Amino acid sequence: MIATPFTPIASLLGGALIGLAAVLLMGATGRIAGVSGIAARLFPPYEDREFAGRLAFVAGLVAAPVLVRLVTGSLPPQMIAAGTPVLIVAGLLTGFGAVWGSGCTSGHGVCGLSRLSVRSLVATLTFMATGVATVFLMRHWS
């Protein structure tokens, strides 16, 4: 386990930026800023003609750290403890579950809760619970 410092101010500000992006996307395209929904729709079958816009949004997500590095000369720490087999299993489960459950942390957790959606509340409580249970089993089961 790698210890991380408690960062309430930075996290609150970063969260506000995420919220700002969600509001801007709704105002511009009329769509929910759900990253799993946007990413999954980059693959066929295609149901509309929003491909380029979705790709641009994802490109913006990927470009953010590049911009931070250009402007500040460094990046905040990123510590990934999982090895390749765990990353593959985790990626498969995360991608499958997000599409199967119609959303992830952003679509249900941020946008859904903000719309007072009961489905999103159920989804958020469920993935928080299994996420907590998984970390507990991985770290404290002996």
Nearest to 40 by CA among 88, 120, 119, 102: 102
* Residue among 62 and 73 whose Cβ is closer to another protein: 62
In the complex, what is the shortest distance from the CB of residue 66 to another protein, in angstroms, rounded to a whole number?
A: 5
In sequence order, the 6+-apart residues with CB closer than 8 A to the CB of 106 are: 18, 22, 33, 34, 35, 36
With respect to another protein, which residue has the nearer C-beta, 53 or 73? 53
User: Closest separation between CB of residue 17 and another protein, Å?
Assistant: 3
**CB of 10 vs another protein, minimal distance in Å:** 6
Give the shortest CB-90-to-another protein separation in angstroms. 4
21: enclosing H helix or E strand: helix 8-29
| DSSP state at residue 46 | P
Tokens for 116? 């007072």
Q: Rounded distance, CA 4 to CA 68, Å?
A: 21
Structure tokens at 94: 């995360």
